Structure 1
Amino acid sequence: MNIEQLTYIVEVSNSKSLATAAKTLNISQSALSQAITKLEGELNLKIFNRSRTGAVTTKEGDHIVEKARSALDAIYQIKEEAKNQLNNVNDLLRLSTIPGLAGPIIDTYLSFRKKESHLKIEVNEKSSMEIIEDITNNKIDIGFIALNKTNISLVNDLNFTPIIEGKILVYASKESLLVKTTEVVTAALLKKQTFVLYKDEYVQSFITNFQRIYGPLNISFKTTNLDMINRAVTELGFVTIGHDISSKFNPYFPFDKMIGLNIVDSFDTSFRFGWIKKNENKLSEYTKLYVEEVNKILIEKNNGIT
């Protein structure tokens, strides 16, 4: 019995197909079949019932595969600990987040670094779609993204862990007529506004869907500069659209001058926000502690706890 054999039976159990597992493992189906047959001989029991339609674990095989998973996880932990010891626990975590969340992520890191470990991080702000692409291409280890119901399928092959919930709001100046006359913005009211928009796929998706149903909106300009957007709203009376958590976690958001308004239920504006990574990407214990600390801060702030 060896590590390869344990890896093979776990992968076959996951895919329920020798052909699919062989492709994933980058070996021939014949070699995979022979390795499993050899292991079954060593253990003197049948792990899989094989047929033309696939491979399904036997009752005894279920227990063997479960033990194999535990063994492989233990082996990974041993290797991870050895790596940490060799590198003096100088972990490097490459992460990206949607705009507005870099502040609490970095602040938490600075506090964490003082008391916990030598963990190092690289942080970038990107759109959710860019983060998903970077995860897929192994350019980053973990990312914090926004997902709604329409694009949940984009992360079917990845590990998405939701942490908080939020929604898209219309942001306007507190001195605007819009704020003084309503608490919920209708389509008719939106049509009368001048927009400045953050260049984000979800904002663009909302605008595209709105214009498809209700006709064109008056969009003055688009930018990734939040300060320009805030000034256009507070000084020119424009409105903008964005995630509510971006304002909650942005220490520079002008709460004294701007306010978020709910959008009438013509669209689903709800989102889930959380971490995404590859399923096979195992985080070190120090990284897990850091992420847990970030999650605690995000949940507390999102719930209005200071």
Structure 2
Amino acid sequence: MNIEQLQYIIEVAEQGTISRASENLHVSHSAISQAISSLESELEVSIFDRSRSGTKCTEEGKAVLKFAYEIINRITQLKEIGQKSSLLHGELKISAATIYFSTFLPEVLYSFKKDFPQVQVIIQERGTHDIIKEVKNNQFDLGLILGNDVTFKALDTRVHSQTLLPSKLMVCVSKHSSLVYNQVVTPEELLQQPLVIRNEELSQTFWDSLFSNYEEGNVVFSSNNHDVIKNLIANNIAVGIYTEFWIKNDPLVLNGDIVPIPYFDHNFMESYLISLIPKQKHQSMILKEFVKCLNSTLRSYTLQNM
């Protein structure tokens, strides 16, 4: 038994096929297949059931995989002993929802890279469902999503979640809108307006719930292009919904062309900025330092909004 064999079975289990594991590890298909067969022979268990549809862990394989994760995690910890933070090097893979890219994530990345220039940070912008799935399958070290209580309940037990910040919902209107002097906007008032809807999971869930609890609204536009949406709002063609963090530093909000007004609805389920970390994967020193930087930036961000 060797470390490479353990790394191979972890990668195959995460990717679902030997072919994808081979591509990720830059190791030939036959080398991985032979290594797994050799380990199965040594342990006298069948780790995987192989078929045309993919490679799945057997019950015995799941037990082997659990120990493989523990061993690899311990090895990673050993390598980190004595390593100074300023000399940290390696890779950090993050999957994040759009809201993070347009708010404080760039600031977090700037601060982190300034302190740890030798760490390579790989970030992908994904939808909430994909982020949860990929973190669960250990494809990313950290996932950043916008969700609510339903999101928490639906999370897999293999994912550790943490609430970063609550996120208030704001009705965004033009400075020429009839709603501009409202202190809050109720569902009934919102549904009297021409609406623009974002083509995103949590946004769609919000609108579906609103229409179900009250009445169908007048949706005049539906888009996932935020520049288009905000220009429609600024020109008083439609009214939209955003979280307060998403629009905090938006130029159209800062110059007064878009006016955000708190949304008030007893039936509304509060949203949260949420971080996700795979439970089976060792939390590296790199990840811990990034989370520290993230929390520090968020504290500063919260104070600015008080």
The one-letter amino acid of 2:97's match is I
1:25 to 37, 50, 63: 63
Q: Residue 95 of structure 1 aligns to a residue in which SS?
A: strand
Q: Residue 123 of structure 1 aligns to a residue in which SS?
A: strand
Equivalent residue for 1:161? 162
Map 1:189-268 onto structure 2 (within 5 A).
189-248=189-248, 250-252=249-251, 254-255=253-254, 256-268=256-268
Cα pair 2:176 2:236 within 8 Å, conserved: no
Equivalent residue for 1:64? none
Give the 3 Å change call, closer, same or farther, for CA 169–205 of structure 1 in structure 2.
Answer: same
Give the 3 Å change call, closer, same or farther, for CA 254–124 of structure 1 in structure 2.
Answer: farther
Q: Give the distance between the partners of 1:171 and 1:26, measured in 2 at CA.
A: 53
Equivalent residue for 1:184? 184
Q: Residue 303 of structure 1 aligns to a residue in which SS?
A: helix
TM-score normalised over the length of structure 1: 0.69
Give the 3 Å change call, closer, same or farther, for CA 170–137 of structure 1 in structure 2.
Answer: same
Cα pair 1:97 1:125 within 8 Å, conserved: yes
Q: Give the distance between the partners of 2:259 and 2:120, measured in 1 at CA.
A: 36
What is the deviation of 1:102?
1.8
What is the deviation of 1:156?
4.2
Equivalent residue for 1:9? none
Give the 3 Å change call, closer, same or farther, for CA 72–228 of structure 1 in structure 2.
Answer: closer
What is the deviation of 1:76?
4.3
Cα pair 1:184 1:261 within 8 Å, conserved: yes
What is the deviation of 1:159?
0.5
What is the deviation of 1:279?
0.5
Map 1:1-306 onto structure 2 (within 5 A).
24-26=62-64, 76-80=76-80, 89-103=88-102, 104-157=104-157, 158-180=159-181, 182-248=182-248, 250-252=249-251, 254-255=253-254, 256-304=256-304
Q: Give the distance between the partners of 1:301 and 1:253, measured in 2 at CA.
A: 20
Q: Residue 247 of structure 2 aligns to a residue in which SS?
A: helix
Cα pair 1:168 1:269 within 8 Å, conserved: no
Give the 3 Å change call, closer, same or farther, for CA 253–236 of structure 1 in structure 2.
Answer: closer
The one-letter amino acid of 1:245's match is F
Cα pair 1:184 1:264 within 8 Å, conserved: yes
Give the 3 Å change call, closer, same or farther, for CA 150–100 of structure 1 in structure 2.
Answer: closer
Write out per-residue CA displacement over residues 44-95 of structure 1, whole angstroms, 9 at most, x where no aligned residue. xxxxxxxxxxxxxxxxxxxxxxxxx9x997654104559x89xx84321111
Q: Give the distance between the partners of 1:151 and 1:100, measured in 2 at CA.
A: 16
**Long gaps (5+) in structure 1:** 1-19, 33-68
Give the 3 Å change call, closer, same or farther, for CA 253–304 of structure 1 in structure 2.
Answer: farther
Give the 3 Å change call, closer, same or farther, for CA 258–251 of structure 1 in structure 2.
Answer: closer
What is the deviation of 1:233?
0.2
Q: Residue 101 of structure 1 aligns to a residue in which SS?
A: helix
Q: Give the distance between the partners of 2:140 and 2:73, measured in 1 at CA.
A: 22
Give the 3 Å change call, closer, same or farther, for CA 174–251 of structure 1 in structure 2.
Answer: closer
**Long gaps (5+) in structure 2:** 1-57
What is the deviation of 1:297?
0.9
Give the 3 Å change call, closer, same or farther, for CA 81–252 of structure 1 in structure 2.
Answer: farther
- Structure exhibiting the larger radius of gyration computed from Cα positions: 1
Matched pairs, number? 242
**Root-mean-square deviation (Å):** 3.1
The one-letter amino acid of 1:220's match is V
What is the deviation of 1:110?
2.6
Equivalent residue for 1:50? none
Equivalent residue for 1:15? none
The one-letter amino acid of 1:24's match is K
The one-letter amino acid of 2:170's match is L
Write out per-residue CA displacement over residues 204-234 of structure 1, whole angstroms, 9 at most, x where no aligned residue. 1111111112221111122221111110001
